[in-house]
Amino acid sequence: MVKRYALGIDLGTTTAKAAIIDFENGVVAISGVEYPTYYPKPGWAEQDVDDWWNAVRRAIFEVMGKAKVDPSEIAGIAVSSHRESVALLDEKGNPLDRVPIWLDKRSLPQTEWIKRNFDVKEIYKKTGLIVDPTFTATKLLWYKENKPEVLRKAKVALQPKDYIVYKLTGKYTTDVTIASRTMLFDITKLEWSEDLFEAFGLQECAELFPHTSFSDEVVGETTKDAAKELSILEGIPVMGGAGDRQCEILGAGVLDSTRVEESTGTGSTTATTVDSPVLDDKMRVVVTAAAIRGKWNIEAGMSTAGAVLRWFRDQFCQGEQVLANLTRRRAYEYLDMEAEYVPPGANGLIVLPFFGGARAPRWNPYARGLILGLTVHHTRSHVFRALMEGIAFEIRKILEVLEELGVYSKELVVLGGGGKTPTWARIKANVTKRRVVIPQVLDATLIGDAILVGTGTGELSSISEGVSNLVKVRGIIDPEPRLCEVYDKYYAFYERIANLMNEVYDELAKLPEAKPEEVPWDIDRLIHLLFKLEEKD
């Protein structure tokens, strides 16, 4: 019998990954290729569809070489990706502009316009989403006001993974999970909302979006051109695929609300699975269609989590980065070891981790980061630990909101970069008072891709079989009651400070920015001073 494998592709915010996965034994090989994000103006964050495709293509080449499987053994392909972006293409499938991604905040004015002119609670009830510049509808409004010629030329609007599916199959498709992140999709009926397109004045955009499929539905096959370009076979089934978060929830084995997954990448998302849309009267969390048919996901995402630690590493830890390169380790490992010698609470340091605004459950794009309590006693290690604790406190806040909605979890499945950090995993266990589960494969999105391929092609009999075969546990961390008590006190203070800061964010955003003045340096004199060669009087 010929062995059969899944080819999973995940287009993350910074890295395209590809994996060859055995349906019974798990991952055979993974490869990742980074690609750029462009920041042409403050608050803007753009990507290029050609960068997406080139990164995916390289990742597929690399993983096929690593896995050493015959192309004929690939049973199917599933693609997942970051969400809320909108790639506008012309009639020939060529991009009309760079793509504003989820992190892009240029559509804040359009967001405020919606808030002033519409009942945001009604929008939430229909879409499951908060009115926020994250989502696609506000980006389309920005185009309408600022680049109307792009919208006039556009013939199709695709999310990132939909563009990759198009390059593989030649077909314009989308699925319910990624459509449910546009703020133009009815979360209960699982169909595009004509009422919202009309209300927002986006009627001309309604035809740009493809009909939706389910995530495990076969939507096409690899074309002759794609096969030639990727050195794979023509005719391989391609699934509808899913948004990265929904696919990750599936790949973490979160099939019901007794488990919650927390994934740290650039941001952090805490999410679980429910049998029907669970909406919040206070609109603190969002609800999306799940990659599992007939299920929904509750999500609460932070804008910056891993990005905060990366900022700290890049700005203050050059020595550790050099050491990491020399020893082939991660700089974070050395920082973790330092943080282990800092007591819980970091000797009175509190960090608000809103370095890119606050998303769920606070939803304040003007929020900023704060490091409170610094003294001359504190070291770099204290700050690093306090950064990890601040993010853990915000995760606890999210879990408390879920409990208010009647969603109780016993376990926290830690994924992404956060799962590579034992110190941070222990902090999360003690702050949230939950058992932390660390899977063998932290790139759970790729596991979710494989499960979609397996169920879509019949290689797996069910989603449950896929989870049983492919979701394995590497480690478990139980909370320590003594440390939980310490963190209870710090969390109460954290929450107090977070609420107080809401009063000043708007004022802070309005402070004027002055350009630095050019200083007429005397370069010759500076050189003499540097080498102590100046003439004495």
Summarised one tens digit per residue, pLDDT across range 179-194 is: 999 999 999 999 999 9
Mind giving me the DSSP string for 93-156? S-BSS-EE-TT--TTHHHHHHHHHHS-HHHHHHHHS----TTSHHHHHHHHHHH-HHHHHH--E
Contact predicate 222/165, CB 8 Å: no
Phi, then psi, of 234 in degrees rounded to 5? -75, 145
Q: How confident is the model at residue 2 (pLDDT cuts 50, 70, 90)?
A: low
User: How far apart, in whole angstroms, are the C-alpha atoms of residue 207 and residue 496?
Assistant: 47
Position 266 scores a pLDDT of: 79
Bridge pairing between strands 218-221 and 191-192: unpaired
* Chain segment 411-438, per-residue pLDDT in tens: 999 998 888 889 999 999 999 999 999 9
Residue 80 vs residues 12, 34, 77, 374, 449: alpha-carbon distances, Å: 8, 16, 10, 42, 7
Domains of the chain: 5-240 (3.30.420.40), 251-439+472-508 (3.30.420.40)
Mean pLDDT value of segment 226-232: 95
Between CA 452 and CA 449 the distance in angstroms is 5
Structure tokens belonging to residue 335? 């920082």
N-terminal to C-terminal alpha carbon distance within the chain: 92
Predicted pLDDT at 533? 55
Q: 35: closest CA among 3, 74, 81?
A: 81
Given this model, what pLDDT does residue 525 score?
A: 73
User: 230 φ, ψ to 5°?
Assistant: -105, -5
- Beta carbons within 8 Å of 117's beta carbon, 6+ residues apart: none
Across the chain, what does the average pLDDT equal?
93
SS3 label, residue 404: helix
Model pLDDT, residue 352: 97
Q: Supply the pLDDT for residue 3.
A: 73
Per-residue confidence (pLDDT) for residue 532, from 0 to 100:
63
The mean pLDDT value for 47-59 works out to: 97
CB-based contacts of 73, cutoff 8 Å, min separation 6? 2, 3, 4, 5
Structure confidence at residue 233 as a pLDDT band (50, 70, 90)? very high
Q: What mean pLDDT do residues 277-301 have?
A: 95
What is the token pair recorded at 520? Answer: 């007429």
Q: How do residues 266-283 score in pLDDT, each as one tens digit? A: 788 899 999 999 999 999
Do 329 and 404 touch, CB atoms closer than 8 A? no
Tokens of 402: 């879920």
pLDDT tens for each residue of 313-325: 999 999 999 998 9
Binning pLDDT at 50, 70 and 90, where does residue 469 land? very high
CB-based contacts of 156, cutoff 8 Å, min separation 6: 88, 89, 93, 172, 208, 209, 210
Query: Mean pLDDT, to the nearest integer, of 64-68?
Result: 95
Task: Indicate the residue type of 308.
Answer: V
d(CA 420, CA 409): 22
pLDDT band at 199, cuts 50/70/90?
very high
> Is 537 a residue whose pLDDT tops 70?
no
- Percentage of the chain exceeding pLDDT 70: 98
Round to whole Å and give the CA distance between 16 and 75: 21
What's 277's DSSP letter? -
Alpha-carbon dihedral sign for residues 245, 82, 79, 285? positive
How far is it, in rounded angstroms, from Cα 11 to Cα 163? 10
Q: Is the peptide bond before 344 cis (omega within 30 degrees of 0)?
A: no
Alpha-carbon distance of 8 to 10, in angstroms, equals 7
Buried b (16+ CB within 10 A) or exposed e, 143-173: bbeeeeeebeebebbbbbbbbbbbbbbeebb
Burial class (CB in 10 A: 0-12, 13-18, 19+), 444: buried
